[in-house]
Amino acid sequence: DADVTQTPRNRITKTGKRIMLECSQTKGHDRMYWYRQDPGLGLRLIYYSFDVKDINKGEISDGYSVSRQAQAKFSLSLESAIPNQTALYFCATRRNTGELFFGEGSRLTVL
């Protein structure tokens, strides 16, 4: 089983719909992250969390919200999806020594 699991892996939705991307981890790490990947832009940080009571905005948090339901779970929501949120989304956890461990990604298409 994967250490960092993202669901769904692929999702097609329409403009204005609410979407939730879920992430769960079995690595026992406190720090969790959401990034989006766009061709030519690399990965950009959306939100990150130190623990269930500590949520922080990243570079591009507008239009997104997150929830840290437990140490192992960190979900990303798009309240009203728009086409320019079409991207590949990655969840990651961070070991105390600094390395990130990524999920397999969630490909979101907003029509």
Partner 1 sequence: AQSVAQPEDQVNVAEGNPLTVKCTYSVSGNPYLFWYVQYPNRGLQFLLKYITGDNLVKGSYGFEAEFNKSQTSFHLKKPSALVSDSALYFCAVRAYNTDKLIFGTGTRLQVFP
* Closer by beta carbon to partner 1, 4 or else 19: 4
Residues binding partner 1: what is the number (CB under 8 A)? 26
From the list 77, 99, 104, 74, the residue with the least C-alpha distance to 88 is 104
**27 lies in the site for partner 1, by CB under 8 A:** no
Q: Cis ω on the peptide bond leading into residue 8 (within 30° of 0)?
A: yes
* Closer by beta carbon to partner 1, 78 or else 103: 103
**51 lies in the site for partner 1, by CB under 8 A:** no
**99 lies in the site for partner 1, by CB under 8 A:** yes
Cα–Cα distances in angstroms (integers) from residue 16 to residues 73, 78, 110, in the given order: 25, 9, 9
d(CA 103, CA 23): 8
From the list 50, 38, 45, 37, the residue with the least C-alpha distance to 64 is 45
Which one among 12, 41, 82, 111 touches partner 1, defined by CB under 8 A? 41
* Closer by beta carbon to partner 1, 56 or else 80: 56
User: Where along the sequence are the contacts to partner 1 (CB under 8 A)?
Assistant: 4, 31, 33, 35, 40-45, 48, 50, 56, 58-59, 90, 92, 94, 98-105
